[in-house]
Structure 1
Amino acid sequence: MKKGVLLVNLGSPESPTPKDVKPYLDEFLMDKYVIDVPFLLRALLVRGIILQTRPKKSAAAYAKIWWDEGSPLIVLSKRLQEKIQKQVSVPVELAMRYGNPSIENGLQKLSDQGITEVLLFPLYPQHAMASTETILVLAEKLRKEKFPHMSFTIIPAFYNQKDYIRDLSNSIKRHLEGFEYDHLLFSYHGIPERHIRKTDITKSHCKIDGSCCNTPSPAHEFCYRHQCYETTKQVVEFLGIEEGKYSQTFQSRLAGDKWLTPYTDVEINKMPEKGIKKLAVVTPAFVSDCLETLEEIAMEANHQFKEHGGEEFLAIPCLNDDDDWAKTLSRWVDQWAFQNQEQTV
């Protein structure tokens, strides 16, 4: 069997214009793993309400962070792919769950090279319905319909893998050099609380009550909340950050549902009155900088923090195409390429 790799990230609109943002948002928000309500209700909510106003607002946000080369998420993902390709012995392609290049396009490129065994690599450290799971479901659907000659090996969530923790921690340390911060905030992308309960394979463990994430359980294999807190815990231990000097929040929520708390924007706005004047923020739910990190955090959160009395704000970049990170991913790929194991990370 000839092997190849498909890296998969979230995706981006083709341009920062309402015309291109609207179909991208439609594909994204109509995904039943993102807004998990019955189709008719989802269509009413997305196409009847959200898409009537959101594309213009989102396009303006994308325009703030757009690069000459294109979408930062796409550009950075391609750079990472290219670095990995130079270090491994098997073909490596890149795909996006939404927009282009599509997962079907990525699988087709591998198929055209005679690839029959694919390492499917979602670029998400933590497992969630709206990220990892939707990638795996779509990829399997495409495999059955169009690429039945292929087999998949899945890279599991790597939120606690020592190489990832080391690379993330060292990146944070480098960017903090010379910045005497009062507080380090770990801001993860938010999800509805019901997603946590839906991915609980025990159907009884996840209470979201402050204790279940710290109580050993098979549920943790797919629990986004637990995995976020575990990433924070291990980075804090690696860097030796003292208690009280850091905290964790969740960003990017939609109105109407109970999402994971505490909320990033709410907590950041309260920090200056607590004496936190110099704030650093890291976003470990992402491996590539994107709208949520470059606009929501580096721009909007920065502005709000200073509006409420903060003095200095540092948005720490994602791992992106960091050389050490690219070497780690290349090593994981080669481990798989030369071993007959289903999960090698």
Structure 2
Amino acid sequence: MTTLKDVAQHVGVSISTVSRVVNNEATRSVNPETRRKIWDAVTELGYQPNKWARQLVKGGQAAPSAATRVGCIVAVTQNKYNHPYFSGILEGIEKGLVDNGYELTYVQTGDDLRNPALLHRILHENAADGLILVEGLEPETYETLRRSVPYLVGVDVSDPGIPRVTYDRVEAAKAAVRHLLEQGHKRIAFIGGPGLSQDVEKEKRYRGYREALREAELDVRPEWVLNSNWDVEASYQLTKELLQSDKEKPTAIFAASDMMAISAMRAANECGLRIPDDIAFVGLDNIELSAYSSPPLTTVHIPKFEIGSIAAKTLIDYIQGKYPIPVKISVPFELKIRQSSLSGPKA
């Protein structure tokens, strides 16, 4: 069965762009040539938009059949649907829905929902029977969705009032830092960003870093906590500034995502440092690129596809009344040790 993702890959655009075209959304413009290519791909690949979307294209006002429309909101502001972490979750969500006879009818981001017209369309004109929320949203927007959508499932969302699929981010970060400690490192820096609170110290991966150091009776050094706001370029620049400074430097860096770790590794290389002999790196996510960085990046594997697939099945079970109370499903993580961290003891 052809999916939105298949059409997006065929044309070379994002899933959200395909979603907007096949659902006839006018809140954001799509280049006419791109729109034509998408409909050509829909015909060529045999993709079948849901019945309601086809009626909209024809100018009709037919309502969707019960419990068949599922939307997804992804709280990501950078790289959109080419994001190496979120795209894996989205793929799992779509496959999980398709395998159970459902369809992912639209994908939007947290930034998209700041557009009042689009938010109104999602809640009223293009209303879904169920919604999967991947990570958090601003409290006001989240409460609006929760009041308006009959069935809501969260991926790494803190609300205990809805079914959730998650992994233990604090323990995953601790596993990464403990590995560096076991390699003999005592001067370990952190690269990450804030959560919705906009406070890095409340972010779970930072908390894991801090707890691992404290358990080893080591202090957190504020000058080694780099807030890149989850931006790859900022991670590169901040790491370069740290490694070029005249102050004492870390011998290892834990980055809260692989993309930030890889950009920081480039900064270390440009500063003339050898990895892992002069400085070691560990990331978190295990995106595909991490095995092909130079050297290959030690990271914590998060089962992204499985998280998405489980979230889809959880939503379907929720819609079908199989969960009388909200459930929390926690998936395991696994440390993947590669060459970027295998070094001798450091003073």
Larger RCO: Structure 1 or Structure 2 (Cα < 8 Å, ≥ 6 residues apart)?
1
Greater gyration radius: 2
Q: Fold-level match, TM-score > 0.5?
A: no
- Normalising by structure 1, we get a TM-score of 0.42
